[in-house]
């Protein structure tokens, strides 16, 4: 079993919809969680990060971590066509000395006007 599992999609939603993207992980030592957004033919860019369980909000984006279920989510409110991209979850052990991240394979999202 891969350490981080992510449904690859693709996921297609109409403009204005609420989007839910999810990952599960297997290693309870992971404590640092991130979401990256990757536009077509571009490098991944950091979107959200959190160190612990609970919610973190940034504009239309909310990252949620449930350590008891080993489940991480990204919610996008009022989705826009500009949100169309691949979203990758990533995690690592808190304070990892090498800075190594474990990535999910990414979910491709398309927001239709």
Partner 1 sequence: NAGVTQTPKFQVLKTGQSMTLQCAQDMNHNSMYWYRQDPGMGLRLIYYSASEGTTDKGEVPNGYNVSRLNKREFSLRLESAAPSQTSVYFCASSGLAGGRTDTQYFGPGTRLTVL
- Pairing type for strands 45-50 and 54-58 reads unpaired
State how far the Cα of 68 lies from the Cα of 61, in Å rounded to an integer.
Answer: 22
Tokens of 58: 């940034």
Q: Which is nearer to partner 1, 71 or 94 (CB)?
A: 94
Residue 18 C-beta: closest distance to partner 1, Å? 25
Residue with tokens 């971590």: 65
Q: Which of residues 17-76 bind partner 1 (CB under 8 A)?
A: 32, 34, 36, 41-46, 49
Q: How many residues bind partner 1 (CB under 8 A)?
A: 25
Residues that bind partner 1 (CB under 8 A): 8, 32, 34, 36, 41-46, 49, 88, 92, 94-101, 103-106
């Amino acid at each position: 079993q891969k350490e981080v599992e992510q449904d690859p999609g693709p996921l297609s939603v109409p403009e204005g919809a609420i989007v839910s993207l999810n990952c599960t992980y297997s290693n309870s030592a992971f404590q640092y969680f991130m979401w990256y957004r990757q536009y077509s033919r571009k490098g991944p860019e950091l979107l959200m990060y959190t160190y612990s369980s609970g919610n973190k909000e940034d504009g239309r984006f909310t990252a949620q971590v449930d350590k008891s279920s080993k489940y991480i989510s990204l919610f996008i409110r009022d989705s826009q066509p500009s949100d169309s991209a691949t979203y990758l979850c990533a995690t690592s052990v808190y304070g990892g000395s090498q800075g190594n991240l474990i990535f999910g394979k990414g979910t491709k999202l398309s927001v239709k006007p």
